[in-house]
């Protein structure tokens, strides 16, 4: 093993431990690790300016494929398309939240089902999945969980089962599309897949799983919610959906922008516009229509997450350039003995177990080059491995309270309102649900692709 490989592994493992320990903010950890990779691995050990340049990947901005993509192309180093897209969606979501869109939507649906507990439970869990297909799950859960608590206090039911189901379905919805969950954005932009590719593959798995999950949660939680369901609901006590709208003009504009974003994403395999172009366009339009509030919107942007991604991609670039990821791919190939089913099962279940305990974003970013290498050496279809990786990382995160961002936000909103959710309470229902969905996904992938 070369010095560069040893340092690349030490930096990567150190970064992961620091992220798990949560002592230093994770964007500082990844950025610091990224700088170390550039200096120690590429600069001192490899003395390769080319490796630094390839990993920083600034030249990708100048290529046509970055903005307009006709054929599938793969990217290396910092995945700027992911970063620009996430930043663009952040700007749009900030605009929508400021106008009161999410709260309005939650209240509107609650009104439509006359605020009865079980119908609210079913519609909110489905809405959670549908919204998470296009919007980051943190935002979806932040608003849904808050409204759920508010309704629970007014209608006198325990909001914990509903919040748990919403969390699970947000992660499930996120797995359905290319922009639903960061691992999917990384997989999609790194391997040149389209929105439709995800929708027709992971989307179908998520659709089937959603139906089964809603039924599972209904039977798992019905006893906890049934007592309040029978009581008559005094709708006059509830806040009106229209009260959620802070500014009518902003509300209409942000809704139109959201619809445009959805249309652009759904049709991007036809228009050939990349997610980077769509992200930039959506952000630009949101900022233009925000007028003098544009600066405020930009200030609210979660820069820490964007920096986290930059550092992370550099560290993974270190593993890639030094050939460590090829060694891991070779290892997976060897232990599966060339058995494709076993290989897919390993990718899916190892990703799921890892994502249940560590951040799924660094895991997915690391595994993308691994499955690329695995596919080229073993001949297994890259797309099959990609869907296994996407499902594993997206769904596996639902199993524990720390597996995905939505879980942390949902349990936190519940606790802040007097409904603490312990590990035991969380895992009792969501861990079995995760295993069920993973089992369904495994069977689905085996049947459809092999």
Partner 1 sequence: MGQLIISVGREFGSGGRIIAEALAKRFNLPIYDRHLITEIAEKTGLTTEEIEKYNENPKHRLFSRSVRGYSNSIEDNIAEMQFNFLKTKAESGESFVVVGRCSETKLREYPALCSLFIIGDMDAKIKRVMEVYELSEDKAKDLIDKKDRKRKRYHNYHCSAHWGDSRLYDLCINSSRLGIEGTVDCLENYIRARIGE
Question: Under 8 Å CB-to-CB from 443, ≥6 apart: which residues?
Answer: none
**Residue 418 CB, nearest approach to partner 1 (Å):** 3
Is the CB of 22 or the CB of 381 nearer to partner 1? Answer: 22
- Of 322, 302, 307, the closest CA to residue 366 belongs to 322
Residue 209 or 398 having the CB closest to partner 1: 398
Q: Cβ of residue 186: shortest distance to partner 1, in angstroms?
A: 18
Quickly list DSSP for 334-358: HHHTT-HHHHHHHHHHHHHHHHHHS
For 386, residues 6+ apart whose C-beta sits below 8 A from its C-beta are 187, 191, 193, 371
Verify binding: residue 421, partner 1, rule CB under 8 A.
yes
Closest approach of Cβ 436 to partner 1, in Å? Answer: 23
Asked if 396 and 352 count as a contact pair (C-beta separation under 8 A), the reply is yes
Exactly one of 44, 74, 422, 432 binds partner 1 (CB under 8 A); which one?
A: 422
Among the listed residues 285, 401, 433, 434, the single contact to partner 1 using CB under 8 A? 401
Q: Which residue number, 284 or 415, has a Cβ lying nearer to partner 1? A: 415
Give the span between the Cα atoms of 108 and 86, in whole angstroms: 28
Letters for 271-310 (x = contact with partner 1 by CB under 8 A, - = none) are -------------------------------x--------
Using an 8 Å Cβ cutoff, are 283 and 91 in contact?
Answer: yes
Q: Helices (H) and strands (E) in the chain — how many of each?
A: 22, 0
CA distance 242 to 94: 19
Show the site string, 129-168: x = touches partner 1 by CB under 8 A, - = not: ---------x---x--------------------------
Shortest spacing between CB 416 and partner 1, in angstroms: 5
Q: How far apart are CA 28 and CA 10, in angstroms?
A: 17
Which of 13, 342, 415, 450 binds partner 1 (CB under 8 A)? It is: 415
Q: Between residues 22 and 234, which has the closer beta carbon with respect to partner 1?
A: 22
Binding mask 340-359 for partner 1 (x = CB under 8 A): -------------------x
Q: Counting contacts by CB under 8 A, is residue 224 touching partner 1?
A: no
For 307, residues 6+ apart whose C-beta sits below 8 A from its C-beta are 27, 30, 31
Q: How far is the CB of 365 from partner 1 (least distance, A)?
A: 18
The Cα–Cα gap between 90 and 113 comes to: 30
Look up residue 38 and give its DSSP letter: I
Cβ neighbours of residue 182 closer than 8 Å, sequence gap 6 or more:
82, 86, 309, 360, 361, 364
Residue 24 in contact with partner 1, rule: CB under 8 A: no
Binding piece for partner 1, criterion CB under 8 A, among 172-180, 270-278, 386-394, 404-412: 404-412
Q: Is 4 in the site for partner 1 (CB under 8 A)?
A: no
| 75 or 405: CB nearest partner 1 | 405
Q: Three-state DSSP class for 68?
A: strand
What is the x/- site pattern for partner 1, positions 32-71, by CB under 8 A?
----------------------------------------
In angstroms, the Cα distances linking 76 to 185, 196, 280, 374 are 14, 23, 21, 16
Q: Which residues bind partner 1 (CB under 8 A)?
A: 20-23, 138, 142, 302, 359, 401-402, 405, 407-409, 411-413, 415-423
């Amino acid at each position: 093993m070369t010095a560069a490989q040893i340092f690349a592994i030490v930096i990567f493992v150190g970064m992961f431990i620091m992220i798990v320990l949560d002592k230093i903010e994770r964007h500082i950890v990844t950025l610091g690790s990224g700088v170390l990779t550039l200096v120690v691995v590429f600069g001192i050990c490899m003395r390769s300016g080319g490796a630094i340049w390839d990993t920083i990947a600034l030249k990708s901005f100048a290529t046509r494929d970055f903005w307009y993509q006709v054929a599938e192309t793969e990217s290396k180093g910092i995945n700027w398309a992911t970063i620009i897209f996430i930043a663009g969606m952040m700007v749009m979501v900030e605009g929508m939240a400021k106008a009161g869109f999410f709260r309005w939507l939650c209240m509107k649906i609650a009104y439509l089902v006359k605020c009865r507990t079980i119908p609210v439970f079913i519609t909110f869990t489905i809405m959670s999945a549908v919204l998470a297909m296009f919007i980051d799950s943190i935002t979806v859960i932040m608003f849904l969980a808050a409204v759920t608590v508010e309704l629970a206090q007014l209608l006198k039911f325990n909001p914990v089962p509903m919040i748990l189901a919403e969390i699970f379905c947000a992660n499930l919805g996120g797995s359905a599309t290319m922009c639903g969950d960061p691992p999917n954005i990384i997989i999609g932009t790194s391997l040149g897949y389209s929105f439709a590719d995800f929708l027709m593959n992971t989307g179908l798995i998520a659709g089937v799983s959603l139906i089964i999950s809603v039924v599972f949660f209904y039977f798992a939680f019905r006893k906890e919610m049934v007592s309040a369901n029978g009581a008559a609901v005094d709708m006059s006590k509830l806040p009106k959906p229209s009260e959620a709208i802070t500014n009518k003009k902003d509300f209409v504009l942000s809704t139109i922008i959201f619809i445009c974003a959805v249309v652009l994403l759904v049709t991007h395999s036809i228009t050939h516009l990349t997610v980077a172009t769509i992200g930039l366009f959506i952000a630009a339009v949101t900022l233009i229509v925000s007028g003098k509030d544009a600066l405020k919107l930009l200030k609210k942007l979660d820069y820490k997450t964007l920096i986290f991604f930059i550092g992370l991609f550099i560290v993974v670039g270190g593993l890639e350039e030094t050939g460590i990821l090829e060694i891991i791919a070779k290892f997976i190939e060897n232990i599966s003995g060339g058995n494709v089913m076993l290989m897919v099962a390993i990718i899916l279940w190892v990703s799921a177990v890892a994502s249940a305990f560590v951040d799924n974003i660094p895991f997915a970013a690391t595994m993308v080059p691994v499955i690329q290498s695995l596919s080229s050496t073993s001949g297994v279809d890259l797309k099959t491995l990609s869907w296994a990786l996407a499902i594993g990382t997206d769904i596996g995160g639902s199993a524990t309270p720390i597996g995905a961002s939505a879980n942390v936000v949902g349990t936190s909103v519940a606790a802040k309102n007097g409904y603490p959710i312990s590990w035991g309470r969380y895992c009792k229902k969501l861990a079995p649900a995760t295993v069920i969905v993973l089992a369904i996904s495994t069977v689905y992938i085996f049947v459809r692709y092999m």
